[in-house]
Structure 1
Amino acid sequence: MPYCGREHQVAHRNEHKRACNAIKKSKEKLDAEEVKLRNMPPDMFTPANLFEEQVGRFWGILDTRDYMRARYAYADALLKIESTLAVQAAFDNIRDLLRLCRGDNMGMRYVLPGIFLRLGRDQECYDFIKWWAIDRPDYDWSDMSLPYLDMKDEDVFGGVALFTKEYSNLCFTVAITLIKIRLLLDLENLQNASILCAKMPQELLDGVRSQLVSDAIVHNPRKKDLMEGKNLTSLIKELKSQIDDLHTAVYESNPYFWPAMLDPQRHLTAEPQPYSAGSIPEMQIYLQYSYASWAETSGAIEIIEKLEEGTFFTDEELGEQGE
């Protein structure tokens, strides 16, 4: 981990050591649980060859649950280290928990969006959330032949009704809000580049533009037009409207969330508690899942400040809305 100086390194040493010790202990626990599970003799409740033949069904087999909990504890410990390698390792472990248990009894689908976004994998995050957000009342979670998390390259500029409807999951709506904000920031940067760099040679201008966009635009079918500055004004207008709708949906789902995003400190260290929809404990756990992805996105929290203050739209934009 890089430090700005010796003093910073010394000050951080104890905290870093605690985090590393927690990782070591949780990994030892995980390894022990895996050995126990692999060596467990089969019986009427626990089939043989669990890791080979029961993939997707783990939680339904009681003896797998200590292993599943230990694996998440290890991933959670990794997330306490602020490095891309640690975040990637946590992602790999949590994503594999979903492979082992399709039905996701542990709620890992709510942990992953913030990690996707920390890794800059916005398009995959959007596809992942959209798959889970679609109702599947007749889906057989035990049938491994059915498609699972198979959405790919869905349109990130698409409408937000799926994520703003009543009973939409708060964590999903928050993550979609950040994806849309990142798109907005990208398009505003492209628009500014077109104005400021208009006299640059085209090759240099293309190079500048390529450094200004995130993963979701790189993978979008509209990439060529966007990079050339086409239709940016109308897309920016649409994104701002979507972000406003998402902001409202989050507030209606849990009125404590946005104020906590702007003043997060005590909530980030709160112990997880049983929660009901719209409660402070719900806000705290989802804030802990998502805050790092927001803090690591320059300008994102400032947009929430503007939305909370009522200054997100210009007077001209407000006038157009009133027409």
Structure 2
Amino acid sequence: MGDPAASKGLIGPLIHRCQKCKAGEAREKFLRCRYCRAVRYCSIEHLRADRSSHKSACKGISKARVKLAKEDRLVRSLPADGDMPANVFETGVGKFWHFQPTRDYLRTRYILVERLHTLGTLDSYAQALKHMHDMMRLDRADHLDVQDIAPYVMLSLDLDQESCDFIKGWGIQGRKIVKGTDIFESADSILGVNNLYNPKASSLLLRLKLLVDVINVMNARKVLPLTPLPVEIQIIIEKNMVRSPLSAHLHKESTQALVERRGKLVRGILEFSQRLADDHNESFMFEFFHVALSVEPRRRPGLSYGEREAVMARRSYPAWRGTEGVLQLLDNAGACAMKTPVMNLKGMLYSYRDKLGQRYSRSAAEQLKYEILEVIWDYLPWAVEDATYLGPPAERPSERYRKLENERVFKNMEGMMFQNEHLKDAMRGLASGNGVCE
């Protein structure tokens, strides 16, 4: 449905790796760029070879650091007066933005956070998160909306419990520090008074991440007993099939417990996705599958509500793409929706419309893709069952469900008369279980 290759960002956990050749942590030692201190190299040769590519980002981060240090000294040197307390970094904690001279400092720090976030390395994310925590400590009202990025950075760093705690804490009136939030709490319990887009979307991503872990362990448990590997080795492999620290115990769970956990996660995902659809744009996933995200989108004044949500969706994309298996699972859910009789009929009608030369804002293919993304969550359970099915493709759960839905639709429309021969052919195809938009 999209073109992941056209989008930036690596897939999988953030690890120290060479910025040039992408060699990972198997190496004992990396050289770090001494200017930005946010990228690493496996050799001095690769550091030099990558200099031209890295130069722009490196300069941007270095300049932002220099400017931040200057603003820091300026704020600390300001004398106390009626509008500014003495030692504001200690006495103004929580209400930092209230004092006019501190605002340039916070804005400059936010620019540094954005540039570190854009770089997308383990070092840059860790540094960005440290800045964000301190900015939110100083300015509890979060006038620069640091909370928009923070949960995604935590998820990218696999700080999954911390992400869930952060979202719940910021949903409490007055914003409190929360520890040990139960991942299976309801959306109302976790979101609280927070009705913004990003807490819902990041909560959704976390549950999808945990769902992929469960699927991986279930599949490993089906395949490994067929190998001659000792049980001890099979357990080690199961342990390494998960990414989230919250899934570290899954190898100890029974298969039935995994099935139940999978069901609870799917129900939670559908609950959060429904909240997104009700409160925001029901087709917000369109940004992930339709647009090649090659440029870091920036917030700009004057954006409409829908445009601002689109920017937020695109800014969170590295976390979605980096969480291996999530977009693939949603892509499979879209493929399940594509094969349903309703989408088959719509696809045929939109194609027929295009042949007639009628002008619309979207082509038939684009319109169908858009409508699939509007119902993608309805077909996530089909895709999840397919993901843990290892039998013949023709007998996948989604194929069985599709045939049942085809039969139901055909029976409901059996008595209707169609004057259009194209529709007659379409109904015959649906009745036989063959789609017209395969």
TM over 0.5: yes
What one-letter code is carried by the residue in structure 1 that aligns with 2:317?
Y
The match for 1:312 is 380
Q: 1:224 to 1:287 in 2, by over 3 A?
A: closer
**Residues of 2 paired with 1:271 and 1:102: CA distance?**
23
The match for 2:352 is none
8 Å contact kept, 1:163–1:173: no
Q: How many residues align?
A: 303
8 Å contact kept, 1:251–1:258: no
The match for 2:257 is 231
What secondary structure does 2:380 align onto? coil
What one-letter code is carried by the residue in structure 2 that aligns with 1:291?
Y
8 Å contact kept, 1:71–1:93: yes
Q: 1:184 to 1:259 in 2, by over 3 A?
A: same
In structure 1, stretches of 5+ residues that fail to align are 140-147
**Residues of 1 paired with 2:140 and 2:260: CA distance?**
40
Larger Rg, first or second structure (1 or 2): 2
How far apart are 1:161 and its partner, in Å?
Answer: 4.0
Give CA-to-partner distance per residue, 1:285-317, whole Å, 9 cap, x none: 3421x1111111111112222344534333579
- 1:103-182 matched pairs, under 5 angstroms: 103-134=141-172, 136=173, 139=174, 149-162=176-189, 168-182=195-209
The match for 2:246 is 216
The match for 2:213 is 186
The match for 1:250 is 276
How far apart are 1:228 and its partner, in Å?
Answer: 4.7
Give CA-to-partner distance per residue, 1:172-226, whole Å, 9 cap, x none: 11111111111111111111222222364343233222212212224xxxx3685
How far apart are 1:270 and its partner, in Å?
Answer: 4.0
How far apart are 1:151 and its partner, in Å?
Answer: 1.4
What one-letter code is carried by the residue in structure 2 that aligns with 1:130?
K
How far apart are 1:262 and its partner, in Å?
Answer: 1.0
Instruction: Provide TM-score, normalisation by structure 1.
Output: 0.82
The match for 1:295 is 321
What one-letter code is carried by the residue in structure 1 that aligns with 2:182?
D
What secondary structure does 2:234 align onto? helix
The match for 1:144 is none
Q: 1:156 to 1:102 in 2, by over 3 A?
A: same
Give CA-to-partner distance per residue, 1:102-135, whole Å, 9 cap, x none: 221221111101100111111110111112223x
Q: CA RMSD in A?
A: 3.1
**Residues of 1 paired with 2:176 and 2:240: CA distance?**
30
Q: 1:48 to 1:95 in 2, by over 3 A?
A: same
How far apart are 1:45 and its partner, in Å?
Answer: 0.6
**Residues of 2 paired with 1:164 and 1:106: CA distance?**
20
The match for 2:345 is none
What secondary structure does 2:205 align onto? helix
8 Å contact kept, 2:171–2:194: no
8 Å contact kept, 1:78–1:87: yes
Give CA-to-partner distance per residue, 1:49-91, whole Å, 9 cap, x none: 1112222221111111111111111111112223101110011
8 Å contact kept, 2:184–2:268: no
Q: 1:172 to 1:318 in 2, by over 3 A?
A: farther
How far apart are 1:271 and its partner, in Å?
Answer: 4.1
Instruction: Provide TM-score, normalisation by structure 2.
Output: 0.62
8 Å contact kept, 1:129–1:172: yes
8 Å contact kept, 2:239–2:250: no
The match for 2:235 is 206
Give CA-to-partner distance per residue, 1:222-253, whole Å, 9 cap, x none: x3685454511122122223223333333341
What secondary structure does 1:254 align onto? coil
8 Å contact kept, 1:163–1:246: no
8 Å contact kept, 1:55–1:99: yes
How far apart are 1:165 and its partner, in Å?
Answer: 9.2
In structure 2, stretches of 5+ residues that fail to align are 1-17, 23-42, 338-378, 383-396, 406-438
What one-letter code is carried by the residue in structure 1 that aligns with 2:221?
S
8 Å contact kept, 1:164–1:246: no
How far apart are 1:167 and its partner, in Å?
Answer: 7.5
8 Å contact kept, 2:20–2:50: no
What one-letter code is carried by the residue in structure 2 that aligns with 1:312?
L
